[in-house]
A and B are shown apart, each in its own frame.
Chain A
Amino acid sequence: AQSVAQPEDQVNVAEGNPLTVKCTYSVSGNPYLFWYVQYPNRGLQFLLKYITGDNLVKGSYGFEAEFNKSQTSFHLKKPSALVSDSALYFCAVRDILTSGTYKYIFGTGTRLKVLA
């Protein structure tokens, strides 16, 4: 079965510094990978996705993610963190079932705290 792991419960970074939120995956076949962000008391918002092609994917709010097949990782990055980036971030993978339908598997989430 497909899975994703987010090894850090929380990441702290100073405003203006680069940030990285880590995600590793385990899939058979080519992965469809996603990052979502959740602000307090809100639903999950789509940030970016990797399907195929360029290993560096650009998304919303200045975020990007690097797909690394050899390391089975899909880390979320941003060159310069903002206090407003403080939120809960989820990595997800699409899981294709034997019926040809699919569902999504989410990581446990990483709380990002950007300090002013």
Chain B
Amino acid sequence: NAGVTQTPKFRVLKTGQSMTLLCAQDMNHEYMYWYRQDPGMGLRLIHYSVGEGTTAKGEVPDGYNVSRLKKQNFLLGLESAAPSQTSVYFCASSDPGARGNTIYFGEGSWLTVV
């Protein structure tokens, strides 16, 4: 049971480069999320999706774009990477129909922008 899988796990980018983080979940969850984790700031929501073809902005959406073309996948894009986007990125998913709506996380993607 894979759960939530993120690729790549580690990446180093140069300022101005672009890249896409891929998240895949095999739990048939409707909702998916991208968070970033920075020291002393906990987890901050970047974007989220409540179903295939839908996306919405979270707390810190600037500099990121997302797409949810398939229910099981949620992509996070950085069009022009900046050093401030150096962070650990977590994808997560949840089932709105499940009692308690537990959110499940991937293992994280470590991104460094130099």
> Footprint of B on A, CB under 8 Å?
9, 32, 34, 36, 41-46, 49, 51, 90, 92, 94, 99, 101-109
Which of these binds chain A: B11-19, B69-77, B102-110? B102-110
Pick the contact of A32: B40, B48, B101, B104 (CB < 8 A). B101
Distance in Å from the Cβ of A54 to the closest Cβ of chain B?
14
Compute how far the CA of A46 lies from the CA of B4 in the bound complex, rounded to whole angstroms.
13
Given contacts A32-B100, A51-B99, 20 further A-B contacts (CB under 8 A): A36-B105, A42-B107, A43-B90, A43-B108, A44-B43, A46-B102, A46-B103, A51-B100, A90-B42, A90-B43, A94-B101, A101-B96, A102-B31, A103-B48, A103-B58, A104-B45, A104-B103, A106-B35, A108-B40, A109-B42
Distance in Å from the Cβ of A90 to the closest Cβ of chain B?
7
User: Which residues of B have CB within 8 Å of A44?
Assistant: 43, 90, 92, 105
User: Which residues of A have CB within 8 Å of B103?
Assistant: 34, 46, 92, 104
| 10 A-B pairs (CB sep. < 8 Å) | A43-B108, A49-B102, A51-B100, A90-B43, A92-B103, A94-B101, A103-B45, A103-B58, A105-B45, A107-B42
Chain A residue, CB-CB nearest to B30? A101
Interface residues on B, range: 20 to 34
Compute how far the CA of A27 lies from the CA of B48 in the bound complex, rounded to whole angstroms.
21
> Footprint of A on B, CB under 8 Å?
4, 31, 33, 35, 40-43, 45, 48, 50, 58, 90, 92, 94, 96, 99-108
User: Which residues of A have CB within 8 Å of B96?
Assistant: 101-102
Q: Would B33 and A108 count as touching, CB distance under 8 A?
A: no
Distance in Å from the Cβ of B111 to the closest Cβ of chain A?
14
User: Which residues of B have CB within 8 Å of A104?
Assistant: 33, 45, 92, 94, 103
